[in-house]
């Protein structure tokens, strides 16, 4: 039994009458955007414009991040500082009594305690 009120029943009835014609669905109204959101890092409620937009890898829809732009910038800056220290700042190399750099650590004689 089909009814004329329900959109699903109307589509089924149209397909039964003419199976080759595709009946378009009514477009859904867009979801309302929340004007404010609380940041996960700083726990401050900010306007939605302070968050960057991202696309989900599983869908085409665009959404807003859960951390604000300022917190993302701080996180990236801290990461780059740590990365720079780890890979670009020269590490201290072992030296002998005269200040020359020792290449082979295995050839270093351990210091003897004179008691």
Residue 95's SS3 state is strand
Residues spanned by the domain of 26:
1-30
- Statement: residue 115 has pLDDT above 60: no
Residue 1 lies in a domain: yes
Residue 102 lies in a domain: no
- 11-41: per-residue pLDDT in tens? 777 777 776 767 677 788 887 777 899 999 9
Spatial separation of the C-alpha atoms in residues 12 and 22, rounded to whole Å: 10
Tokens encoding 101: 């750099």
Question: Residues 36, 55: one domain?
Answer: yes
Nearest to 30 by CA among 62, 53, 56: 62
Spatial separation of the C-alpha atoms in residues 72 and 80, rounded to whole Å: 12
How many residues belong to the chain?
Answer: 115
Q: What is the value of pTM for the model shown?
A: 0.48
Neighbouring residues of 52: CB distance < 8 A, sequence distance ≥ 6 = 64, 65, 69, 72
Domain count, the chain: 2
Question: Residues 53, 40: one domain?
Answer: yes
């Amino acid at each position: 039994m089909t009814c004329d009120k329900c959109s699903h029943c109307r589509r089924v009835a149209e397909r039964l009458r003419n199976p080759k014609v595709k009946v378009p669905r009514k477009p859904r109204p867009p979801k309302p955007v929340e004007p404010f959101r609380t940041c996960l890092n700083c726990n401050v409620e900010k306007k939605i414009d302070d968050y960057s937009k991202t696309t989900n890898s599983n869908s085409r829809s665009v959404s807003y991040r859960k951390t604000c732009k300022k917190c993302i910038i701080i996180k990236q800056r801290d990461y780059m500082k740590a990365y720079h220290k780890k890979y670009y700042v020269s590490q201290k190399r072992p030296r002998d009594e005269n200040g020359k750099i020792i290449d082979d650590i295995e050839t270093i004689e351990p210091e003897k305690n004179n008691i």
